[in-house]
Amino acid sequence: MKFVVQKIPLPEFDELEKQIFDNDQTFDQMYETWKILDDFFGQNFYDSDSEWRMTYFRVYTRLTWKILGALNREKFVEIIRRQAPMALLLDVDVLKQIMWYLGFNIVDKQALVSLFLELKKEFLQSEAVVGVWQGKNVTVAALVKEVDSVYKAGDSLAQAEFESRLRQIMFPDEMAKKYFTADPEEAKERFLDLVSFFQTFTQENIWYVVDAFLNPEKYQNAATGQAASFAPTKFVTPPAPLPTAQPTTARATSATPPMPPLGKSGIERPSLAQVKSQIESQFKKDAEGNFADIEGVYKKLGELAEKYNDSAINDLIYYDESSGKFLWK
């Protein structure tokens, strides 16, 4: 959908937002709209994010997390740094999406560790606005420092007061409650889990954490509620035992480490739209819009179909004799 980013009254923006989401029914349509917003916010950083927080930046975030699997590594890191707080307010399970991206797009251990360390640094030091307290913006970095202080002290009353204030920071007024769709308690918990995740896990154990997310059946003997300490079995060269995670905050020791698959049955599969997004981002096309390496595409689809035990992935692309092209179903 074509539009120009400009200041308009909220009631008018509400109508524009409705038109955007009524129009954006396919991936290509969503991407076209997203690109307009990405180009605008790419020229401006944290100040503009805050200025347009209740309007275009909120919509930009909603669209971004719908096409997240199509974004390259550099863009993904930027999105986590800038959009994670807003995504939480819009009821996105950011930690779960990070785990999917790490596991779904990274097949090399060294690359995965490198990406995790970059995400860790950028998120914990982020100046993205989480909310407002006493008329002033509160950033991720400021709250991370407070989390360290509050939970290390071990004062349960201080912790309860902090969590109550965090909810108020994230949902400071009626406007926030109208435009942010997450449950305040759940958004608060997800933010704290995200901080705990980056503070708790290290380059030594992140590979196993992601592997446990993708393949929970390999770790069925790891009791839910305990710190991560696994002994993976399906490696060509057996790795050294995973070091027990050493949490940096008291919260991390009192709560289950934020590893979504533990205690759940089965492997959570990506949607076919997510698979398509990955293929579109991973394989280049020629001038006519055809995949340059169609054999590589079919090989990748086969690997994903086997990995997630989903034969429908294999059938996503077919050869259309009338056009002489390989098309998406």
Q: Which of 132, 115, 135 is nearest to 123 (CA)?
A: 115
Report pLDDT digits (tens) over 165-182.
Answer: 999 999 999 999 999 999
141 vs 320 pLDDT, higher one: 141
Concatenating the DSSP letter of every residue in 46-114 gives HHHHHHTTTTHHHHHHHHHTTSGGGS-HHHHHHHHHHHHHHHHHTT--HHHHHHHHHHHH---HHHHHH
What gap in Å lies between CA 198 and CA 95, rounded to an integer? 10
Do 130 and 178 share a domain, yes or no?
Answer: yes
Report pLDDT digits (tens) over 11-57.
Answer: 899 999 999 988 877 888 889 999 999 999 987 677 788 889 999 99
Do 130 and 255 share a domain, yes or no?
Answer: yes
Q: Which of 262, 151, 141 is nearest to 200 (CA)?
A: 151
Is residue 120 scored above 80 in pLDDT? yes
**pTM across the whole model:** 0.70
Q: Is 85 within a domain?
A: no
At 268, which helix (H) or strand (E)? none
Do 257 and 123 share a domain, yes or no?
Answer: yes
286 vs 142 pLDDT, higher one: 142
Side chain identity at residue 1, one-letter code: M
Number of domains forming the structure of the chain:
3
158: how many CB neighbours lie within 10 A of its CB? 13
Percent of the chain predicted with pLDDT > 90: 45
- Average of per-residue pLDDT across 77-102: 95
Q: Which of 280, 321, 324 is nearest to 70 (CA)?
A: 280
Do 257 and 110 share a domain, yes or no?
Answer: yes
- β-pair type (136-139, 317-320): unpaired
Average predicted confidence (pLDDT) for the chain: 81
Do 131 and 186 share a domain, yes or no?
Answer: yes
Handedness of CA 18, 22, 25, 30 (dihedral sign): negative
Q: Which of 232, 200, 194 is nearest to 216 (CA)?
A: 232
Do 50 and 130 share a domain, yes or no?
Answer: no
Do 204 and 309 share a domain, yes or no?
Answer: no
Domain ranges, residue 11:
1-64
Q: Is 126 within a domain?
A: yes
Do 246 and 112 share a domain, yes or no?
Answer: yes
Tokens encoding 227: 């710190």
Min mean pLDDT across 147-151, 204-208, 214-218 is at: 214-218
Min mean pLDDT across 172-181, 214-223, 287-296 is at: 214-223
Do 241 and 287 share a domain, yes or no?
Answer: no
Among residues 221, 245, 267, which one ends one of the domains? Answer: 267
Report pLDDT digits (tens) over 238-257.
Answer: 233 333 333 344 454 433 33
